[in-house]
């Protein structure tokens, strides 16, 4: 019996890895480098097209718990992320090129994985198949998925710009992490006083935006976690000052005071030659990005290694279509994995690939399927995307709110999160996977 994984992104690589480590010969299909999506530029696998941050690393946080669960399930991507990490305070961020290169090397050197380059335009009707083509699935295959699923949902996602380190004016910036977490130089902070912020905010709201094809401007669906900064600014004059530009936990060493607003820049690569504008996903025209972001004093002469872009994402109506093992309800040999299922986030996508891969292996080996317990972060996300009672289905990322309540009442939120993490990891350690 043939086992195929279609798509060598985050979820596809994890799925193929889980199959391979169980001794199952797996075909991994990837259309790059023959064909690229509008947002992809790197020929390597598991390309990170938005931020290079994989979010918090603390186990008593939702994102940190998810990654620790993945590590204990022999995740390929967390292993590669840990080896290619760059300083990011309490977060796990990676040098995206080194990360993708390492994942690609691991996949291609595995004797149980055969990589097949080329676009897949049909859904195979034989063998065991995992579709992990991501939110930017090619047009031809998207049509086949829509036919299979009786339609699909779409939303739009945005990426933040990247600037060169040497072009940042450090006379108007300082190194620090919020509340002195990390090594102290994990972020470059670009402060603004009240007048500078109000001018920046006004120009941001009125700046010219790039056209987005196949986008209903009258009723746009933009995932909240990647809301363009200019859209967020429209919600109120202080919306971004209480959001990505919040100055809380920072003091400008030049003044000794907390700034009115702050843009944080995070290392994009290990060498620290490029920095990402944290929380500044945008759909402004490239010239407008340079002009408006240049109103931030530290970026007045910034050189852009990459401008921000906005692109279409697609996900299926999973509560009506998928089981909690990520197989189709009416076609047990066909699995979906990744953001196309409605999990949102890099590691959430990868985690779904782990579960799809494990269960595809169970199907191949004639074993009982694995349904992750709800008390685990992976299990709670799987339960959400397969819950028929969910009506207005929207992407869901890891959060402590999806976990079942503890049997004991704990008022302190940090202690409560730590107990939830302890419960989850004890369950994971007791599984025979």
Q: What is the pLDDT of residue 432?
A: 81
User: Which structural domain range is residue 261 located in?
Assistant: 162-312
Q: Which residue has the tokens 């010239």?
A: 287
Nearest Cα neighbor of 84 from 75, 76, 71, 93 is 93
Q: How far is CA 289 from the centre of its chain?
A: 23
Beta bridge partners of 201: none
130: in domain? yes
Q: What is the pLDDT of residue 224?
A: 60
Q: What is the pLDDT of residue 123?
A: 96
129 and 65, same domain (yes or no): yes
Contacts of 353 (CB under 8 A, 6+ apart): 10, 11, 12, 13, 14, 15, 18, 130, 132, 337, 338
> Of 312, 342, 365, which one is at a domain's C-terminal end?
312
Encoded tokens for 4: 């195929």
Q: What is the pLDDT of residue 216?
A: 41
| Burial call 238-277: b when 16+ CB within 10 Å, e when fewer | ebbbeebbbbeebbbeeeeeebbbbbbbbbbbeeeebbbb
190 and 146, same domain (yes or no): no
Q: How far is CA 414 from the centre of its chain?
A: 24
186 and 288, same domain (yes or no): yes
Q: Any idea how long the chain is?
A: 433
Helix or strand holding residue 264 (H, E) = strand 261-267
Nearest Cα neighbor of 430 from 368, 373, 347, 346 is 373
Write out the chain's pLDDT in tens, 433 residues: 789 999 999 999 999 999 999 999 999 999 998 887 776 778 899 999 878 999 999 999 999 999 999 999 999 999 999 999 998 888 999 999 999 999 999 999 999 999 999 999 999 999 999 999 987 888 899 999 999 998 777 777 778 899 999 899 999 999 998 877 766 678 999 999 999 999 999 999 999 998 765 444 334 455 566 789 999 999 987 899 999 999 999 999 999 999 999 999 998 877 788 899 999 999 999 999 999 999 999 999 999 988 888 877 788 999 999 999 999 999 999 999 999 999 988 999 999 999 999 999 999 999 999 999 999 999 999 999 999 988 778 788 898 888 888 999 898 888 999 999 999 999 999 998 8
Exposed, middle or buried by CB within 10 Å (0-12, 13-18, 19+), for 123?
Answer: middle
187 and 57, same domain (yes or no): no
291 and 217, same domain (yes or no): yes
Overall number of domains in the chain: 2
> Of 280, 295, 312, which one is at a domain's C-terminal end?
312
143 and 14, same domain (yes or no): yes
73 and 126, same domain (yes or no): yes
305 and 176, same domain (yes or no): yes
Q: What is the pLDDT of residue 376?
A: 97
User: In 322-432, which ranges are continuous DSSP H helix?
Assistant: 346-365, 377-385, 413-430
167 and 308, same domain (yes or no): yes
* Rg value, the chain, Cα: 22
Beta bridge partners of 192: 261
> Of 289, 312, 335, which one is at a domain's C-terminal end?
312
Cα end-to-end span (Å), the chain: 22
CA distance 265 to 287: 20
106 and 239, same domain (yes or no): no
| Burial call 33-56: b when 16+ CB within 10 Å, e when fewer | eeeebebbebebbbbbbbbbbbbb
CATH number at residue 46: 3.50.50.60
- Give the number of other Cβ atoms within 10 Å of residue 117's Cβ: 14
User: In 150-278, which ranges are continuous DSSP H helix?
Assistant: 194-206, 229-233
169 and 270, same domain (yes or no): yes
Confirm if 297 and 199 have CB atoms less than 8 A apart: no
157: in domain? no
175 and 236, same domain (yes or no): yes
CA distance 330 to 419: 38
CATH number at residue 184: 2.40.30
What pTM did the predictor assign? Answer: 0.78
């Amino acid at each position: 019996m043939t086992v195929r994984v279609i798509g060598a992104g985050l979820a596809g690589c994890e799925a193929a890895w889980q199959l391979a480590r169980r001794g199952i010969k797996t075909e991994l299909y990837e259309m790059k480098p023959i064909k690229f999506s509008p947002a992809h530029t790197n020929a390597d696998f598991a390309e990170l097209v938005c931020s290079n941050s994989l979010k918090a690393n603390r186990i008593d946080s939702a994102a940190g718990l998810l990654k620790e669960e993945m590590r204990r399930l022999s995740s390929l991507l967390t292993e590669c992320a840990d080896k290619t990490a760059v300083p990011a305070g309490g977060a796990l961020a990676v040098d995206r090129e080194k990360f993708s290169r390492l994942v690609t090397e691991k996949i291609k050197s595995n004797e149980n994985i055969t990589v097949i380059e080329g676009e897949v335009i049909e859904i195979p009707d034989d063998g065991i198949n995992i579709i992990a083509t991501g939110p930017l699935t090619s047009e031809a295959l998207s049509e086949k998925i829509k036919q299979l699923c009786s339609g699909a949902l779409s939303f739009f996602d945005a990426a933040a710009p990247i600037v060169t380190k040497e072009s940042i004016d450090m006379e108007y910036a300082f190194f620090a992490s919020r509340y002195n977490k990390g090594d102290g130089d994990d972020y470059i902070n670009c402060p603004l006083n009240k007048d500078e912020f109000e001018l920046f905010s006004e120009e941001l709201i009125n700046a010219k935006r790039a056209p987005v094809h196949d986008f209903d401007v009258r009723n746009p669906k933009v995932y909240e976690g990647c809301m363009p900064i200019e859209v967020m600014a429209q919600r109120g004059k202080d919306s971004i000052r209480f959001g990505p530009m919040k100055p809380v936990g920072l003091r400008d060493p030049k003044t000794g005071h907390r700034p009115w607003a702050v843009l944080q820049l995070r290392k994009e690569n290990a060498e620290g030659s490029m920095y990402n504008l944290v929380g500044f996903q945008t759909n402004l025209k490239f010239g407008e990005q340079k002009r408006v972001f240049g109103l931030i004093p530290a970026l007045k002469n910034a050189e852009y290694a990459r401008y921000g872009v906005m692109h279409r994402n697609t996900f299926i109506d999973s509560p009506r279509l998928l089981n909690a093992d990520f197989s189709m309800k009416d076609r047990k040999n066909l699995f979906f994995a990744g953001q196309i299922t409605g999990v949102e986030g890099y590691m959430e996508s990868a985690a779904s690939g782990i579960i799809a891969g494990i269960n595809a292996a169970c199907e191949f080996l004639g074993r009982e399927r694995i349904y992750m317990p709800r008390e685990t972060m992976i299990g709670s996300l799987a339960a959400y995307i397969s819950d028929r009672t969910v009506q207005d289905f929207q992407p869901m990322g890891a959060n402590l709110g999806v976990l079942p309540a503890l049997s004991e009442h704990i008022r302190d939120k940090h202690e409560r999160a730590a107990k939830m993490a302890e419960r989850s990891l004890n369950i994971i350690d007791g599984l025979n996977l």
